[in-house]
Amino acid sequence: MLKFLAGSVAALAILAGGAVANAQTLKMWGPEQIAEPLVAELWNGIKADFEKANPGVTVEFMPPTGTISNGAVQAAIQSDAGPDVILTNSGIGRITIVRNAKQVMPLTEQYEKRGWKDQIYPWLYTELKGQFGGEIYEVPDGLDALGIWYHKDVFAAAGWEVPDTWKGFETLLAAIEAKGLQPIAIGPRTTGSAGHLFGNLLQSASGKETIGQALRKEIAWDDPKVATGAVRLQKLIEAGFIKKEMAGLDLDGASRLWFNKRAAMFVAGPWFTANARKAGYDLANAGYAPMPSDLPGEAIPTGGVGWSWLVPVNSKQPDLAMKWIDFMLSDAVMKKRAQAPASTMIYPRELKGIEPSTPVLREIFAAAAGGVGYNPSVYLPATVLDTYFQMIQGLISGQVTGAAGMQQMQAKMAEAK
Amino acid sequence: MSTHHREWPVVLGLAPVMLLILAPFAWLVVSSLKTEAEIGQADPYAWPADLMWRNYQDAWQIGGFGELVGNSLLNLAGVVLLSLLTCAPAGYALAKIRFPGREWLFYIFILGLTIPVQAIVIPLYQVLFGLNLVNTLSGIVLAQVSSGIPFGIFLMRSFFMSVPDELVEAAKIDGASHLQILTKVLLPISTPAIQALVIISALSTWNDFFLPLIVLISPEVQTLPLGLVRFASTYASEYRLVFSGTVISFLPIIILYILMQRRFTEGLTQGAIKG
Amino acid sequence: MTPALVLYAIFSLLPIAATFWLSFNSSAGFNTASAFVGLHNYQATAADPIVWQSLWHTFLWLIYHVVLAGGLGLALALAISRLKVTQVFFRTAFFLPHLVSLAVVGVIWANIYDPFYGLLNTGLTELGLGAFTQGWLSDPALVLFSVNVASSWQGFGLYMLLFIAGLQSIDRALYDAAEVDGASSWQKLVHVTLPGLREVTTFVVSLAMINGLKGFATVFVMTNGGPFYQSELITTYIYRLAFQSQDHGRAAVLCILLSLLAIAVTIAFNRWRTRLSR
């Protein structure tokens, strides 16, 4: 009897082992908003295609509890019950945190071996190559392009247009204010959101080249050439064009003002279509324009790598994770995503002949076609990020001046390695 | 007589205070029954045109509140049971058994009573990680029981100390073991202390946010407060869901409290003063 | 005895000891090797202005909590303790906020304080009191207080119950004697009630201070320490350093500081209490 029992247990174990060897699960951290019907439809389709191409494999989505900025990704990796492959908000500051904590694998070799190198914009590859002395830890999934969102109907009715000069912009803000609308809404409690507007202002005042130098520490942040954007923000606050009360809002609290048309403008990227859709905003009414600049050719969106794929060091399916990334970079998947109504970003390589289904995305793609400026939030070193975001909150709540804020930034930048 | 006479003026004076203190609840419940557009009108005194009970259905489904409530209850049951099982014997030993090092041990427990859990969180996380308990309900239960142990032991000890030694001595002469003394003699007369321990550990577990925030990563193991905060930040652009979800997260315990308020009140005051 | 001690040793005593060890080491995260750095973390902490700011905020936070939650608890206890018919009703109603988890309180009050849609500002405007609207969570002079109001709204119920219990234990004969002497209600309050509550008061104050020191959830949910660190507490700064920036050494120094504060509060109040009972 005992022998029989032992025998059957052993048999069961072998069976179970065999089953495990065949059936593999790939746990993917992401995508955000999977509970949204449109997002779910798109991703369940992608999942089904991948499972069909790889028999025995099951893809499991882990709804993200946050990003690297609030520690959620680190906690998930650390827990070991965590994901095998991760899709999350990236940028060098965030990647530095998980790289320094030795939580993610270097992927440099795969770029050569699997040809990823040729599947993203060349300038993007060069940029990634330059960040950690040649090592690359992420595969870009989507790029951001931040600019001004406005209501077409409100602007048409009042005869407003996003102007070409900063002076004109200030006049527009005053006109909107006189109509009893909030000129610009911002929710700096969501740190990224604080950086969206601020990055736009820096780009508009100083231009791409100068901001790039500041990020590479070739020019000081408190140099007037860089600090003008911060001083402009201070003036907008003082004039009441951006209300101090907004320092206590988060992204959703602020975007609610825009969706309800109590605010005329909002600085955001293509991902804002997802928020708008959830809030029931008619996307056909959304217009997009880069922040006006007095410098020739500098009225461009800001951005950088918005989302990336990461492979945790303790991924239980590293090979499968690489295959998944191959799959995500394939033409079929990328085109499918770009054409889906749930599409919310710019893809990491040029997709010829693809028309996004949401009209405002067409405007965004057109504005970004000539390249984008820097969104410092995704380029600043991790140790400086906190100071950067808090300084913007300080500016909006009227606690620091633009000049003083940039001095603090410079002090922190000088410390950073 | 005279006190009865004076009751109505006090009641009249207290009514507006109560209204003010409970206003957040009223506002939440009314808002949770509005449409998104009605919430967008930002008029707190407006009544919804149609009561949107659908908001609750949607929030329950999208937020997975069934699972969250279940996890919170499991978490609570685990902590309450384990606290009783560990604190009662330890309280007994510290109160009624003489052994070397008793005082010393007592002070070690005092230490734990004062140090907040936030102050030991990094190594605590490493310990849980080493034991493979991160992202599990058992991990959070063990950590919470441990941080509640000093208080529980104090409570049980001070209650047992108030029991006359003669009772224990008599049982000993009858040949009862320590375990028998505890279960047969002391526990049956300890209802107030047990009630206090149950209610205090249950309430603090139900409300805990810090440890779950650090330990419970996947949505399927999260407890209500953490789940609600995650839900509120993910669905923040749909305020009807945020409001109804919030109501869902505190309704069960408020109903339970109203049903059992006398025991609740006794347990809390007893426990806090004794401990 | 043993199960309690084992659990306690693993999940409390060991971490306490390890926190000290961590504070002398540098580490960039849970997976990385650490190195002994002596007092470096302590020096870095002392040189960090945000540490001093968060320490000051924590101090203010304690005071606010004791005054707001303790004060309201005492006032309501005095008001309802002599009620006969409606006492249970009021006690139950006033206790309701205490049942809401602090994190949920944060979600609720963040919405109450929303400058454009929240109960407070819209309610004031509708009543014609638009001049009193504030940026509750954005005004640097107000934010810590606003968040504390939310915490105290949740906290006062327990203190009220304790004060009621304290009032019930005051000897009725003292009131009768005072009445015979012709004392007014005010005189009875000052000469009988408040002295009779002395012990409960020290207890409530110490409890409120310890609860204040542990304050985390409301700040984390409502402001995450902002704007510009104006509501940063020691606890939220520990979380920021340990779990967002992965700087465990400096976080450990703050952990030790927090423990010392808690121990100091406890010892001070125990002294005070023993002196009172003497």
Say if C140 is an interface residue toward chain A (CB within 8 Å): yes
Cα–Cα distance between C67 and C63 in angstroms, integer?
6
pLDDT at B134: 86
Return the SS3 of A30.
strand
Asked if C255 lies within 8 A of B3 by C-beta distance, the reply is no
Please report residues of C whose CB lies closer than 8 A to that of A243.
Answer: 115, 135
Cα–Cα distance between B42 and C216 in angstroms, integer?
29
In terms of DSSP bridges, do strands A24-29 and A85-89 run parallel, antiparallel, or are they unpaired? parallel
Angle between helix axes C40-47 and C248-277 (nearest 10 degrees) is: 80
Q: Search chain B and give the residue with CA nearest C260.
A: B115
Q: Give the count of beta carbons closer than 10 Å to the beta carbon of residue B13.
A: 10
CATH of the domain at A81: 3.40.190.10
| DSSP assignment of B126-142 | HHHHHTT-TTSHHHHHH
CB C232 within 8 A of CB C225: yes
CB A63 within 8 A of CB A35: yes
pLDDT at A34: 79
Distance from CA of C14 to the nearest CA of B (A): 8
Which of A66, A75, A260 shows the shortest C-beta gap to B40?
A260
User: Residues A219-242: pLDDT tens digits?
Assistant: 999 999 999 999 999 999 999 999
pLDDT at A30: 86
Looking at the fold, whether A295 and A248 belong to one and the same domain comes out as: yes
pLDDT tens, per residue, chain B with 275 residues: 344 457 888 889 999 999 999 999 999 999 999 999 899 888 888 899 999 999 999 999 888 899 999 999 999 999 999 999 999 999 998 888 888 888 888 888 888 888 899 999 999 998 998 898 988 999 999 999 999 999 999 889 988 988 888 888 889 888 888 888 888 888 888 888 999 999 999 999 998 999 999 999 888 899 999 999 988 887 777 899 999 999 999 998 899 899 888 888 888 887 776 65
Say if C209 is an interface residue toward chain B (CB within 8 Å): no
Could you tell me the domains of chain B? Answer: 2-52 (no CATH), 59-274 (1.10.3720.10)
| DSSP assignment of A267-296 | EE-TTHHHHHHHTT--GGGEEEEPPP-SST
User: Residues C111-138: pLDDT tens digits?
Assistant: 999 999 999 999 999 899 988 999 999 9
Return the SS3 of C120.
helix
Phi, psi of A346 (to 5 degrees): -95, 135
DSSP conformational letter for C39: T
What angle is formed at CA A374 by the lines to CA A332 and CA A397, rounded to 5 degrees? Answer: 120
Check whether C92 has a pLDDT greater than 80.
yes
Reference B46, options B31, B28, B36; nearest CA is B31
Say if C130 is an interface residue toward chain A (CB within 8 Å): no
User: Residues A11-63: pLDDT tens digits?
Assistant: 444 444 444 445 899 999 988 877 778 888 999 999 999 999 999 999 999 88
Please report residues of C whose CB lies closer than 8 A to that of B213.
Answer: 220
Which of C4, C164, C252 shows the shortest C-beta gap to B122?
C252
Looking at the fold, whether A294 and A310 belong to one and the same domain comes out as: no
pLDDT at A67: 84
Quote the tokens at residue A248.
């206590």
Q: What is the mean pLDDT of residues A78-91?
A: 87
Chain A residues contacting C, CB < 8 Å? Answer: 69-71, 74-75, 78, 97, 100-103, 188-189, 243-249, 253, 256-257, 262, 313, 382-383, 386, 390-391, 393-394, 396-400
Quote the tokens at residue B3.
């006190």
Looking at the fold, whether A155 and A117 belong to one and the same domain comes out as: no
pLDDT at C278: 64
User: Residues C149-208: pLDDT tens digits?
Assistant: 999 999 999 999 999 999 988 888 888 888 888 888 888 888 889 888 988 898 899 889
- Residue B193, CA distances (Å) to B146, B160, B183, B185, C19 in order: 19, 9, 14, 14, 33
User: Residues A177-202: pLDDT tens digits?
Assistant: 999 999 999 999 988 889 999 999 99
| DSSP assignment of C175-242 | HHHHHHTT--HHHHIIIIIHHHTHHHHHHHHHHHHHHHHT--HHHHHHTTT-STTTT--HHHHHHIII
Domain range C48-277, CATH class: mainly alpha
Looking at the fold, whether A65 and A164 belong to one and the same domain comes out as: no
Is the residue at A9 inside a domain?
A: no
Looking at the fold, whether A66 and A89 belong to one and the same domain comes out as: yes
Lowest mean pLDDT among A257-266, C147-156, C199-208, C215-224: C199-208
Total beta-carbon pairs less than 8 A apart between chain A and chain B: 54
DSSP conformational letter for A119: G
| DSSP assignment of C134-161 | --TTT-TTTHHHHHHHHHHHHHHHHHHH
Tell me if the bond preceding B192 is cis, omega within 30° of 0. Answer: no
Q: Search chain B and give the residue with CA nearest C253.
A: B119
Please report residues of B whose CB lies closer than 8 A to that of A314.
Answer: none
Quote the tokens at residue A150.
């406005």
Looking at the fold, whether A176 and A253 belong to one and the same domain comes out as: yes
Alpha-helix runs per DSSP H in A139-244 = 152-158, 166-178, 191-215, 224-238
Cα–Cα distance between C242 and B123 in angstroms, integer?
11
Looking at the fold, whether A50 and A128 belong to one and the same domain comes out as: yes
pLDDT at A7: 43
Check whether A214 has a pLDDT greater than 90.
yes
Looking at the fold, whether A269 and A191 belong to one and the same domain comes out as: yes
pLDDT at A364: 93
Say if C144 is an interface residue toward chain B (CB within 8 Å): no
Cα–Cα distance between C61 and C58 in angstroms, integer?
5
Asked if A75 lies within 8 A of B219 by C-beta distance, the reply is no
Quote the tokens at residue C160.
């009220």
pTM of structure = 0.91
Q: Domains in chain A: how many in total?
A: 2
Return the SS3 of B230.
helix
Q: What is the mean pLDDT of residues A263-284?
A: 93
Cα–Cα distance between A49 and A60 in angstroms, integer?
13
pLDDT at C30: 67
Whether the CA torsion B74, B76, B79, B84 is positive or negative: it is: negative
Q: What is the CA radius of gyration of chain A?
A: 23
Which of A35, A79, A253 shows the shortest C-beta gap to B62?
A35
The average confidence (pLDDT) of chain C is 90
* All structural domains of chain C with their residue ranges: 48-277
Of A358, A377, A392, the one marking the end of a domain is: A358
Please report residues of C whose CB lies closer than 8 A to that of A256.
Answer: 116-117
Cα–Cα distance between B217 and A78 in angstroms, integer?
10
Which of B217, B237, B239 shows the shortest C-beta gap to A65?
B217
Residues 6+ apart with CB under 8 A from A254: A185, A186, A187, A193, A246, A263, A266
Cα–Cα distance between B240 and A280 in angstroms, integer?
13
Asked if A400 lies within 8 A of C229 by C-beta distance, the reply is no
Is the residue at A113 inside a domain?
A: yes
Check whether C229 has a pLDDT greater than 80.
yes
Looking at the fold, whether A188 and A290 belong to one and the same domain comes out as: yes
Phi, psi of A280 (to 5 degrees): 75, 25
Phi, psi of B35 (to 5 degrees): -80, 165
Lowest mean pLDDT among A100-104, A156-160, B222-226, B231-235: B231-235
Q: Residue A135: beta bridge partners?
A: A132
Say if C100 is an interface residue toward chain B (CB within 8 Å): yes
CB C160 within 8 A of CB B17: no
For residue C93, what pLDDT band results from cuts at 50, 70 and 90? Answer: very high
Distance from CA of B209 to the nearest CA of A (A): 15
pLDDT at B5: 55
Please report residues of B whose CB lies closer than 8 A to that of C82.
Answer: 3, 6, 10
- Which residue's entry shows tokens 């809401």? C100
Query: Which domain, by its residues, includes A115?
Result: 25-143+305-358
Looking at the fold, whether A125 and A264 belong to one and the same domain comes out as: no
pLDDT at C32: 66
pLDDT at A331: 92
Q: Search chain C and give the residue with CA nearest B94.
A: C1
User: Residues C25-46: pLDDT tens digits?
Assistant: 887 666 666 778 889 899 989 9
User: Residues A339-374: pLDDT tens digits?
Assistant: 888 888 889 988 888 888 888 999 998 898 888 999
Q: For testing the chain C interface, which of B6, B29, B122, B263 should be mutated: the one with the most C CBs within 10 Å?
A: B122
Looking at the fold, whether A268 and A182 belong to one and the same domain comes out as: yes
pLDDT at A53: 94
- Which residue's entry shows tokens 């231009």? A207
Return the SS3 of A60.
strand
Q: Give the count of beta carbons closer than 10 Å to the beta carbon of residue A133.
A: 6
Check whether C235 has a pLDDT greater than 80.
yes
pLDDT at C29: 66
* ipTM attached to this prediction: 0.91
Cα–Cα distance between C10 and C6 in angstroms, integer?
6
pLDDT at A38: 86
Angle between helix axes A318-329 and A331-339 (nearest 10 degrees) is: 60
Looking at the fold, whether A366 and A387 belong to one and the same domain comes out as: yes
